Structure 1
Amino acid sequence: MKKAHVPGFRKAQVELEHCSTCKGKAVVQGVSYELVCIDCNGSGWVMAGSRMVLASDELVTQLSFKLQQAQREIEVLKRGPSITGPAAYYQQNNRRGAGGSNYTGD
């Protein structure tokens, strides 16, 4: 018997984009004051491509996924550039130069 894929064990990540009406600000300018954007239900986010509005509970989950991804990218950038191969050897101090400085042979 073939194994069947059972949906629901993992939450699918939906691509989000800024609302085209409010430009991601969640409000639009009325005559004398700002109004909540009705195209995105005041969230500033819609589904990419279809521009459908997400339910508030689904939106919270998707924004959490987006935040976690951004935090991972920030951590990678904080670690600094990872130099590998010959460039890594060239950049490190080998203390073979005059006064213990770096000598690269150039």
Structure 2
Amino acid sequence: MQKGQGLGFKRQRIELEACPTCKGKAVVEGVFYEQICTACNGSGWVVLGSGLVLPSDELVTQLSFKLQQAQREIDGLQQGPSISGPAAYYQQNNRRGAGGTNYTGD
């Protein structure tokens, strides 16, 4: 037997989209009360493009991947743009101007 290429070791990322029926809310308006959306089994998420519903255990894994990606994006935005080189020196306050303000030489 040949060795595999590691196909079972990494979970496949499945792109998700909000359910078109409930628009990601997991419930739909009934006549008298809200009902669980049957198109997405009350999760609010379906597979992008095909609209297939994922089983609960797979959905939890895929939502965890989406949450981790969103957290990385938030962390990157909170760090702000990193300025280096001459631009960093230009942006910092050197207290050489009138009243201790920043003097840039312009």
The bucket for the TM-score relative to the shorter chain is: 0.7 to 0.9
User: 1-side partners of 2:36 and 2:84: how far apart?
Assistant: 50
Distance 1:85 1:49, change over 3 A: farther
How many residue pairs match? The answer is 105
Task: Tell me the equivalent position of 2:55.
Answer: 55
C-alpha root-mean-square deviation of aligned residues, in Å? 1.9
Give the deviation of 1:88 after TM superposition. Answer: 2.2
Give the deviation of 1:69 after TM superposition. Answer: 1.1
TM-score (norm 2): 0.86
Structure 2 residue 67 is the aligned partner of structure 1 residue 81: no
Identical aligned residues as a percent: 72
TM-score (norm 1): 0.86
Task: Tell me the equivalent position of 1:16.
Answer: 16
Task: Tell me the equivalent position of 1:38.
Answer: 38
Uncovered stretches (5+) of structure 1, i.e. residues with no partner: none
| Deviant stretches of 4+, over 3 Å | none
